[in-house]
Amino acid sequence: MPYQEPEYLPWDGRRVPITFVAGYLGAGKTTAINELLAVTDRPIAVLVNDVGEINIDAALIARRHGDTVELTDGCVCCSLIDGFGAAFDQLRARETPPDHVVVELSGVADPDRMTPWGNSAGFMLDGVVVVVAADQLLDGDQPPAVNEAIESQVAKADLIVLTKTDLIGDEQRALVDARLSELAGDTPIFVVGASDPAAGRFLALGGRRPDGVAATATPSLFDAHTVATLPFGPFESVVAADAALQQVLDESPGTVMRAKGIVATDDDRLHLVQVVGRRREITPLPMSEFAAPTPLTIISLA
């Protein structure tokens, strides 16, 4: 049965602001949300949509924050609508509402498809934050569908969070700024990692732009991506894990845009595997005593 909106208003009619965090695969959405949670003690509920069977992000956020709802194996805007409705029902069933809801959308989600949820009983849309990786916006070596997806997301932002500026030089940065101003000239840009603390501007969007995006459906980007879940590890060492990762990536059909997982080594340590485009890293998993190894999720474009 399709999701049915409740007819009652929870919390005596009070509406909780909701922020959607969009941005292409690996742009830095979870990192930005964690930065935000690290500097606030307000009760914020986080909904995490991770494509693939395993929700790695929910583990990464829950580590420092108790109030996370996972939405896994599909994209909320394409195939997980009912799951998203159920998550909202779960929030509405709480006696005390959270102060704010932050929804990390899947990397392929179209924010336009989600903004109507801002009218759902008990909630109000605060805004759409689009996370953009500075090293990816102008990358001409990736499938053009990726550039198109990023540009389409940027056009729908109420606020842009620019990440990974540390990975590009000043010249490239100037080109990125120019492109962003072409794509979304009047949208405020917040650079993560600058001396400014992330919290305030991220959430205090205060209402949508009056000329905000129209609720027009666009073709599904989700369908263009294939998701694979592979067993991975344990390995003798990080070096061995990295070699195996290289092999998995080489053998994956299509262009691998994103891979992640938690892998074990023989010394009983856990490591976070992060692949974004051509960059890959395996780093010690902080607070790994609360986590378990996972298979590797690999998202590719044909």
Ligand X SMILES: Nc1nc2c(ncn2[C@@H]2O[C@H](COP(=O)(O)OP(=O)(O)OP(=O)(O)O)[C@@H](O)[C@H]2O)c(=O)[nH]1
Q: Please state, in angstroms and rounded to a whole number, the distance separating the CA atoms of residues 292 and 243.
A: 21
Q: Please state, in angstroms and rounded to a whole number, the distance separating the CA atoms of residues 117 and 127.
A: 11
Taking CB under 5 A as the criterion, the residue among 63, 73, 78, 228 binding Zn ion is: 78
Residues 64-123 interacting with ligand X (rule: CB under 6 A): 107
Q: Which two tokens stand for residue 123?
A: 């909630």
CB closer to ligand X out of 26 and 118? 26
Residue with tokens 């990023």: 150
Of the candidates 148, 144, 151, 158, which has an alpha carbon nearest to the alpha carbon of residue 114? 158
> Shortest Cβ distance from residue 133 to ligand X (Å)?
7
> Shortest Cβ distance from residue 18 to Mg ion (Å)?
18
The option from Mg ion, ligand X, Zn ion, none interacting with 77 (CB < 5 to 8 A, set by class) reads Zn ion
- The interface region with ligand X, picked from 18-26, 182-190, 237-245, 288-296 by CB under 6 A, is 18-26
Q: Verify binding: residue 27, ligand X, rule CB under 6 A.
A: yes
The option from Mg ion, ligand X, Zn ion, none interacting with 75 (CB < 5 to 8 A, set by class) reads Zn ion
**What's the full length of the chain, in residues?**
302
Sign of the CA dihedral running 146, 151, 152, 153: positive
Q: Verify binding: residue 268, ligand X, rule CB under 6 A.
A: no
Q: How many residues bind Mg ion (CB under 5 A)?
A: 3
Residues 41, 100: contact at Cβ < 8 Å? Answer: no
Q: Verify binding: residue 164, ligand X, rule CB under 6 A.
A: yes
Q: Verify binding: residue 75, Zn ion, rule CB under 5 A.
A: yes
Taking CB under 6 A as the criterion, the residue among 198, 258, 261, 298 binding ligand X is: 258
CB closer to Zn ion out of 78 and 189? 78
Q: How far is CA 273 from CA 12, 133, 189, 241, in A?
A: 45, 18, 29, 9
Of the candidates 34, 41, 37, 75, which has an alpha carbon nearest to the alpha carbon of residue 57? 34
Residues 51-70 interacting with Mg ion (rule: CB under 5 A): 57
Chain contacts with Zn ion (rule: CB under 5 A): 75, 77-78, 109, 222
